[in-house]
């Protein structure tokens, strides 16, 4: 089908040529879709997203079988910056802001790959500040000294500065308060609705991801085990119990 933008076909991957992280994951992402990639710690979500942006070689990993196609092209044939110029933009797990740079400088680094003019960058900054007004107040703060929520917003903003068509986000909810998580997912949903931005969001927080996503894929131990409309998956209690850690315990244990 022509509207498929990103396709994972039986992808297997390993690090250092020895440590296997993925054992065959298939997933199809269509233009304009908000898709969720669900799974517990160590399921392979992060590896899969890094593989899509061809970031594995930088961590001595590689795709060992199957392939990932971005608009029909094998992703391993282009460099990470090529992918960004073509609109495939990753937001890494754990924010990974440049801690010694200010929030605004962090945002600008997102626009460098595209080599846009200063005027275009200034206009895009305003767009990001409109989505996350808190960042505007913190624009001159050193990123390492801002709160986790502000850092996550800045990390997403940095990705938006590259003008993505397909946005790959790795655990935007990590370590954040529920209200902040809700704010971030609302913003992502709004972007998806108003601009048609295609989203693939890896999450452990399945409740919030399934509430906003159209489609979800569950992976476990490096394999895709379930796939379907988010609304259907949200209904099935057995999924929650077997793959996503079950209902919230009374005394949550933090890992």
Partner 1 sequence: MDWFAFLFFIEVTIGGLLSGVMYALVAIGFVLIYKTSGVLNFAQGAMVLFAALTFVSLTEQGLPFLAALAITAAVMALLGLTIERAVLRPLANRSPMTLFMATLGLAYVIEGAAQLIWGTAVHRLDLGISNEPFILGGIFISTFDLIAALIAGVMVAALTAFFRFTRTGLAFRAVADDQFAALAVGLRLDRIWAAVWTAAGVVALVAGLLWGARLGVQFALSLVVLKALPVLVLGGFDSVLGAIVAGLLIGATEKLAEVYIGPVFGGGIEGWFAYAVALIVLLVRPTGLFGQKLVERY
Is 156 a binding residue for partner 1 by CB under 8 A? The answer is no
147 binds partner 1 (CB under 8 A): yes
With CB under 8 A as the contact rule, which of the stretches 33-41, 91-99, 127-135, 223-231 interacts with partner 1?
A: 91-99
Q: Is 41 helix (H, G, I), strand (E, B) or coil?
A: coil
> Does 137 interact with partner 1 (rule: CB under 8 A)?
no
Stretch that binds partner 1, among 100-108, 172-180, 223-231, 242-250 (CB under 8 A): 100-108
Kindly indicate which of the ranges 29-37, 67-75, 140-148, 173-181 contains the residues binding partner 1, using the contact rule CB under 8 A: 140-148
Q: Are 25 and 200 in contact (CB under 8 A)?
A: no
Which burial class, exposed, middle or buried, applies to 245 when counting CB atoms under 10 A from its CB (0-12, 13-18, 19+)? middle
**CA separation for the pair 253, 110 (Å, rounded):** 36
**Shortest distance, position 239 Cβ to partner 1, whole Å:** 31
Out of 17, 42, 99, 229, name the contact with partner 1 by CB under 8 A.
Answer: 99
Q: How far apart are CA 30 and CA 74, in angstroms?
A: 17
76 binds partner 1 (CB under 8 A): no
Question: By the 8 A CB rule, do 102 and 141 touch?
Answer: yes
Q: How far is the CB of 124 from partner 1 (least distance, A)?
A: 14
Q: Per-residue b/e over 213-229, b at no fewer than 16 CB within 10 Å?
A: bebbbbbbebbbbbeee
Binding residues for partner 1, rule: CB under 8 A, are 53, 55, 58-60, 80-81, 83-85, 89-90, 92, 96-101, 105, 108-110, 112-114, 142-147, 158, 162
């Amino acid at each position: 089908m022509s509207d498929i933008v990103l396709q994972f076909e039986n992808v297997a991957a390993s690090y250092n040529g020895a440590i296997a992280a993925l054992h065959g994951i298939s997933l199809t992402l269509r233009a304009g879709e908000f898709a969720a990639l669900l799974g517990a710690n160590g399921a392979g979500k992060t590896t899969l997203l890094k593989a899509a942006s061809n970031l594995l070689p930088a961590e001595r990993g590689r795709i060992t079988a199957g392939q990932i196609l971005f608009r029909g092209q094998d992703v391993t044939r282009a460099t990470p910056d090529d992918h960004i110029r073509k609109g495939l933009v990753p937001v890494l797990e754990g924010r990974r802001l440049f801690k010694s740079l200010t929030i605004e400088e962090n945002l600008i680094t997102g626009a460098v790959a595209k080599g846009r003019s200063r005027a275009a960058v200034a206009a895009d900054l305003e767009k990001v500040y409109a989505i996350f007004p808190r960042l505007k107040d913190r624009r001159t703060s050193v990123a390492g000294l801002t709160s986790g929520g502000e850092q996550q917003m800045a990390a997403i903003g940095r990705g938006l500065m590259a003008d993505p068509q397909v946005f790959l986000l790795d655990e935007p909810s990590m370590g954040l308060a529920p209200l902040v998580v809700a704010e971030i997912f609302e913003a992502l949903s709004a972007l998806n609705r108003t601009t048609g931005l295609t989203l693939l969001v890896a999450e452990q927080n399945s409740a919030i991801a399934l509430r906003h996503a159209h489609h979800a894929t569950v992976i476990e131990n490096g394999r895709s085990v379930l796939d379907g409309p988010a609304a259907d998956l949200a209904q099935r209690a057995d999924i929650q119990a077997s793959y996503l850690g079950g209902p919230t315990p009374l005394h949550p244990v933090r890992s």
